[in-house]
Amino acid sequence: MSKNALDRLAATIRERRTEAADKSYTRQLLDDPIKSAKKVGEEGVEVAIAATAQDRNALLQESADLLYHFLVLLESRNIALDEVCEVLEQRMGTSGLARDKGPAG
Ligand SMILES: N=c1c2ncn([C@@H]3O[C@H](COP(=O)(O)OP(=O)(O)OP(=O)(O)O)[C@@H](O)[C@H]3O)c2ncn1[C@@H]1O[C@H](COP(=O)(O)O)[C@@H](O)[C@H]1O
């Protein structure tokens, strides 16, 4: 999924704030940020299981579920995808090995 598709999906999710709950699954999640957070956790575990099982199709499907639910969670907490991208951009060029991991590693 390209960044452009993620932006379009995020815009759809934002629009669902004003949709009727009985017509929109997204609106139901936006009304219940705790459920939304739990769904991100569930979908993350399902991604990990699919990856561990080396099930390519399942990994694609679960990854899409995770991205959708992650975007809903961000919207429910009034965080724009661009803000997350800014954090990623700030990290660019800094190796993961460069972080201070403390004496325990
Ligand atoms: N990308 C998605 C998307 N991916 C997954 N899902 C839904 O996520 C739900 C949860 O998936 P699960 O596999 O966990 O199913 P479940 O365990 O039965 O779900 P829960 O009862 O736990 O919520 C399913 O109902 C899927 O249909 C999505 N629902 C919506 N979208 C996008 O959001 C748009 C708006 O959707 P509505 O708000 O429903 O109009 C759609 O046009 C799509 O572009």
Q: What is the pLDDT of residues 15-54, one digit of tens each?
A: 999 999 999 999 999 999 999 999 999 999 999 999 999 9
Reported ipTM: 0.91
Ranges 1-10, 41-50, 59-68, 94-103: which has the least confidence: 94-103
What is the atom index within ligand 1 of the atom nearest the CA of 25? 39
The pLDDT of 52-68, averaged and rounded, is 98
What does the alpha-carbon distance between residue 60 and residue 100 come to, in Å, rounded to a whole number? 33
CB 37 within 8 A of CB 73: yes
What does the alpha-carbon distance between residue 93 and residue 58 come to, in Å, rounded to a whole number? 32
What is the atom index within ligand 1 of the atom nearest the CA of 23? 40
Dist. CA 100 → ligand 1 center (Å): 39
CB 13 within 8 A of CB 74: no
Q: What is the pLDDT of residues 65-81, one digit of tens each?
A: 999 999 999 999 999 99
How far is residue 67 CA from its own chain's centroid?
Answer: 4
The amino acid occupying position 43 is E
Note the pTM of the prediction, 2 decimals.
0.91
- CATH 2.40.50.140 is the classification of domain 3-91: no
89 three-class SS: helix
